[in-house]
Amino acid sequence: MEKKALSSFLALILSLPVFPTLAQAHAFPVRSDPRVGWTVAVSPPKVTIWFDGELEPAFSTITVYNAAKQQVDKNNSRVGGSDNSVLEVDLPPLSAGSYRVYWKALSKDTHVTEGDFMFAIAGKAK
């Protein structure tokens, strides 16, 4: 009886995480375009980050800075249209060089995550 109760308890607890609708957790990045740490051939029109959970649009931001620490994005950071797990910002045509993306994500249950990464545009920096 004791063994049965213990195994039922374990099964119950272990099965809780398989129901994602029970809760919204922290939002962490899954992938991005441009990819983290990569060099692209031409200036990308925007930076997009896909997260593993839905974001709160009002408090999730993304900005892009050049090597001189000047903000270069179009300052129109947004959570993408029909998919609330996508964060993106438009870019003007950028010259060759390295750029750093800073993001802050507020998940639906108010957990905050943040981070940054670099990408580069091939060619000689001006």
Partner 1 sequence: MQRTVSVVIATLLGVLFNADHGHAHGVVGKRFFPATLVVDDPFVSDEIDLLKVNKGSTNQNGTETSVGFEFSKRLTPDFDLSAGWRYLFQQPTNGPSTSGAGNPEFGFKYVLFRSPEHETILTTGFGAEIGGIGPARVAEKISTFSPGFLFGKGLGDLPESLKYLRPFSINGQLQVTIPSDRRTVTTSVNENGDIEQDTEHHPTTIPFGFAIMYSVPYLQSFVKDVGLNAPIANLFPIVEFNWETPVSGPGKKLTTGFVNPGLIWVGKYVELGLEAQVPKVSGKNAGINALIHVFIDDLLPNIFTWTPWGVIGPTSAPK
* Closest residue by Cα to residue 54 from 113, 105, 115: 105
Q: How far is the CB of 39 from partner 1 (least distance, A)?
A: 11
Q: Which of residues 7-66 bind partner 1 (CB under 8 A)?
A: 7-8, 10-11, 13-18, 20, 22-26, 28-32, 35-38, 52-53
CA distance 87 to 83: 9
Q: Which lies closer to partner 1 via its Cβ, residue 74 or residue 115?
A: 115
Per-residue binder mask for partner 1 (CB under 8 A), 80-119, x = binder: -----------------------------xxxxxxxxx--
d(CA 94, CA 73): 9
The CA distance from 80 to 71, in Å, is 21
Amino acid at site 9: F
Q: H/E element holding 59? A: none
**What SS3 state is found at 7?**
helix
Q: Which is nearer to partner 1, 5 or 70 (CB)?
A: 5
- Per CB under 8 A, residues contacting partner 1 are 3-4, 7-8, 10-11, 13-18, 20, 22-26, 28-32, 35-38, 52-53, 109-117
